[in-house]
Amino acid sequence: MNRFAFAFGETLRAIAGDRVAMLTLVGAILLYSFFYPAAYRHQVAVDLPLVVVDQDRSPLSRDLLRKLDAVRAVHVVGVLGSMDDARTVVERGDAEAILLVPADFQRDILRGGQGRLALFGNGTLLGRASLVLQGAATAITAFGQEVAVSQAQFAGVPAGPPLQSIERPLFNTAEGYGSSIVPGVAALIVQQTLLIGVAVMAATRRERHGQLRLSRPGLAGIAAAFAMMGMLSLLYFSGFVYWFQDYPRGGNLAGLLLAGALFIAAVVGFAMFFGSFFRTRERAFQLITVTSLPLFFLSNLSWPVEATPRLLMRIAQWLPSTPGINALVKVNQMGATLAEVSGELANLALLALLYGALAMWRYRPRRSA
């Protein structure tokens, strides 16, 4: 117990006295907690440009244009007479989509038929084009419902407003990119800062002492110190940062604590094993920093698992970030129960045991001759 407490205290003092480790484990967390979400502060797309080709030039087509311009996501930047002109506007980057209103649009509707429209999106930036098309589709649907009521009344059929569907997101209530991405990235930030911090301290010990041999109580004390810092960082993101940025949070507090503890345990074990191979402090930054983006994509939070090669998915299960990000987002943002994240929790527990055992093997004391 004395060795454990001594190693725990020495590790915290060593981190506090090492400027690089302190900036990585504390400074980076504080910096990224404000810097990274800032890019998504205005996370709901508004006034994305749409160009209209109005070949009908009728009162109904003008009414449709007014409804389009009233949609938050869409801004009509021009009304042209030909598709060639509209395509030129899109190719210049001045519009994300084209709405074609063909000739005889009003005539077909007044005859009781269906008015035909065509929407074309720019595939260069799929996210922006998708939002424009969705916004235009919303306006067109509302316009079509009003036309249907008018047609029914003109035919002498008593008609009230047609059935309307109201879409309300269950989890990402702001329907923003930041709300869906930042919580997952936050868990990855905690993992990467721990990896760098542990690797830097391990490389420092190797440079000073030439070896990494530790007793099991001493190794447990070092691991506990890093785990405490990792858990505080995770709770800082899950509590204050998500509240300050108004992201979904607090779905399952007990699940968050359990998933967070298993995630940090797996990350610390992985970091101590992985960090034992570094001989210089600088190498840790070079190798770990460049892996952040691939690790995030392997978590399948922003990329569908069905589109990921099976081999990559098997490799991803050996990384704490994959089950950790998914478990934390599910319990905190979506309010999932422990049963619903049992697979991720089991994965994290196995990784914690595996990498903990490997770390003990790497840091085992040498037997005296």
Retrieve residue 98's tokens: 């084209």
In this prediction, residue 44 carries a pLDDT of 61
3-class secondary structure, 100: strand
Retrieve residue 103's tokens: 């000739």
Task: Label residue 189 by pLDDT band (50, 70, 90).
Answer: very high
> 0.75 exceeded by the pTM?
no
Query: For all residues of the chain together, what is the average pLDDT?
Result: 82
Cβ contacts of 122 within 8 Å, gap of 6 or more: 90, 95, 96, 97, 128, 129
Q: What is the pLDDT of residues 241-299, one digit of tens each?
A: 888 888 888 778 889 999 999 999 999 999 999 888 877 777 777 777 778 888 888 88
Share of the chain above pLDDT 90, in %: 21
Least confident residue range of 105-109, 158-162, 334-338: 158-162
| β-strands 118-121, 97-101 pairing | antiparallel
Q: What is the pLDDT of residues 200-209, one digit of tens each?
A: 888 887 777 6
Q: What is the pLDDT of residues 110-134, one digit of tens each?
A: 777 777 888 888 877 766 777 787 7
CATH annotation of 48-154:
3.40.1710.10
| Contact between residue 188 and residue 299 where contact means Cβ atoms under 8 Å apart | yes
* CA angle at 197 for the pair 193 and 202, rounded to the nearest 5°: 150
Structural domain boundaries of the chain?
2-41+175-362, 48-154
Residue 29, exposed/middle/buried by CB under 10 A (0-12, 13-18, 19+)? buried
In this prediction, residue 369 carries a pLDDT of 40
- Amino acid identity at 163: L
**Average pLDDT over every residue of 64-74:** 82
Retrieve residue 81's tokens: 């007479």
120 vs 89: CA distance, rounded Å: 13
State yes or no: pLDDT of 304 exceeds 90. no
In this prediction, residue 232 carries a pLDDT of 94
